């Protein structure tokens, strides 16, 4: 039997973090590296990635930046090939690219709708197709899809985002069932309210008061508080966990009047 330290270790593993230049997935990338994984940080902004790369290197880990348009099938195919060439394997995929908008329902344009659905859903599905096929063929792997509190119950003011995340939860469970006997686990990591970049535009004082009123811990989450859940889902510690929604929300989903 493995020790707890061995169960959570990712030594010798490679993790690909799509959206790793952002705040939440950036912290997740740091946690994966600290557990021993070589991390591919994927995004469009090399300047933002540099901060994470330097932090991981300073802490003794390994990370490389891979530029990619995560909504492009060709781009994602090249990403997989580049990661395999440079790092040799892929054991963990984090699908974390996302955009949000507080546009009132009657004012949502087709362009805005298409953008949110393309980034939040289409890109994730393409990532699962390309990396999932690789993992199924190698008979091992863990995919962590970033869900949302709005994927469990719709949140006001973020109509398209909520719809896209509900679909993310659904497809993730479907793939978990599909690939369960192929050694590939698919789970949904569900953050509650974290002051990430995409959420700041909707966090006016009234909204913050509403959130705090329904969050038993009475605070926002810190990005580093996603690391424990990430390591559980990525490592052998979670070897019998698939198709689950792992909620990290300070009690938000458990709250009622």
For the segment 81-101, the average pLDDT, to the nearest whole number, is 97
SS3 210: helix
Report how far residue 219's alpha carbon sits from residue 192's, in angstroms, rounded to the nearest whole number.
Answer: 11
Listed residue (237, 247, 232) closest to 28, CA to CA: 232
Per the annotation, the verdict on 79 as an active-site residue is: no
pLDDT tops 90 at residue 200: no
pLDDT in tens, 134-190: 999 999 999 999 999 999 999 999 999 999 999 999 999 999 999 999 999 999 999
| Straight-line distance from the first to the last Cα atom of the chain, in angstroms, rounded to the nearest whole number | 45
Report how far residue 18's alpha carbon sits from residue 127's, in angstroms, rounded to the nearest whole number.
Answer: 9
What mean pLDDT value characterizes the chain? Answer: 96
pLDDT at residue 256, as a whole number: 85
Q: Which of 66, 131, 161, 179 is catalytic?
A: 161
Looking at the chain, the whole-number percentage of residues with pLDDT higher than 90 is: 93
Q: Which domains does the chain have, with CATH numbers?
A: 4-245 (3.40.50.720)
Q: What is the pTM of this model?
A: 0.96
Looking at the chain, the whole-number percentage of residues with pLDDT higher than 70 is: 97
User: Where does the pLDDT of residue 257 fall: very low under 50, low under 70, confident under 90, or very high at 90 and above?
Assistant: confident
Report how far residue 5's alpha carbon sits from residue 1's, in angstroms, rounded to the nearest whole number.
Answer: 11
Cα distances (Å, whole numbers) of residue 108 to 104, 206, 248:
6, 22, 29
């Amino acid at each position: 039997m493995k020790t707890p330290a061995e169960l959570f270790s990712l030594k010798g593993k490679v993790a690909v973090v799509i959206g790793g230049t952002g705040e939440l997935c950036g912290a997740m990338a740091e946690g994966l590296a600290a557990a021993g994984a070589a991390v591919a940080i994927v995004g469009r902004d090399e300047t933002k990635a540099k901060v994470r790369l330097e932090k991981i290197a300073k802490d003794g880990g390994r990370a490389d930046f891979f530029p990619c348009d995560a909504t492009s099938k060709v781009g994602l195919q090249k990403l997989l090939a580049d990661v395999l060439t440079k790092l040799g394997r892929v054991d963990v995929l984090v699908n974390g690219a996302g955009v949000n908008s507080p546009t009132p329902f009657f004012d949502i344009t087709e362009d805005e709708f298409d953008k949110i659905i393309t980034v939040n859903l289409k890109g994730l599905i393409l990532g699962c197709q390309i990396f999932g096929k690789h993992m199924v063929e190698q008979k091992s792997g863990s995919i962590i899809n970033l869900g949302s509190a709005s994927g469990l119950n719709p949140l006001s003011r973020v109509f398209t985002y909520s719809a896209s995340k509900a679909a993310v939860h659904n497809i993730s469970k479907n793939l978990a069932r599909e690939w369960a006997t192929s050694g590939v686990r698919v789970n949904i990591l569900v953050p509650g309210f974290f002051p990430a970049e995409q959420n700041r535009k909707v966090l006016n004082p009234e909204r913050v008061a509403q959130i705090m009123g329904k969050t038993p811990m009475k605070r926002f989450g810190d990005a580093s508080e996603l690391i424990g859940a990430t390591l559980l889902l990525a490592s052998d510690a979670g070897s019998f966990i698939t198709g689950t929604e792992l909620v990290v929300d300070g009690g938000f989903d458990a709250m009622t009047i």
